[in-house]
Amino acid sequence: MSSGSVELSSYRDQHFKGSRHDQEQRLRFTTTLYVGNLSFYTTEEQIYELFSRCGDIRRIVMGLDKFKKTPCGFCFIEYYVRTDAENSMRYINGTRLDDRIVRVDWDAGFVEGRQYGRGKSGGQVRDEYRTDYDSGRGGYGKLIAQKIAPNTDNRA
């Protein structure tokens, strides 16, 4: 298989350190995948069980809430070889894991610090603005939840 057999999506990491060209090159040869839309309750073992069907996994890095250090719905999976990662893109992207449809995308390579959510509240930005109720991701989005149940910490 050639390195271009699975197309790149239009998403690009805005925090990538380097030029757009560098990022494109890395994405074309990377063995690292970003996996999103995970339940906050999905375990590393469940991820390993599913993704190891496509090949040997070098490591899994769970996405964590920046402040609580709890899982927040994404992870990075690094394979040893590109063809195994391509198979994950081809066969696992859009499938169900822990009752959720997971999104798999190429990643230019994991760098320490990227495992933490980038939202204001420490988690995923998407979860702050979500208007639907999602039990797998802690209920309503953060902003909606605050309107429904205002902060009651000041009560006696």
Q: Which stretches in the chain have pLDDT values below 50?
A: 1-3, 155-156
Query: How much is the pLDDT for 131?
Result: 60
Query: How much is the pLDDT for 123?
Result: 58
Which pairs count as long-range contacts for 57-64, CB under 8 Å and 24+ apart, including other chains? Answer: 58/31, 61/110, 61/114, 61/115, 62/115, 63/38, 63/115, 63/116, 63/117, 63/124, 64/115, 64/116, 64/117
Query: How much is the pLDDT for 1?
Result: 42
The pTM score is: 0.74
Query: How much is the pLDDT for 7?
Result: 78
Query: How much is the pLDDT for 6?
Result: 73
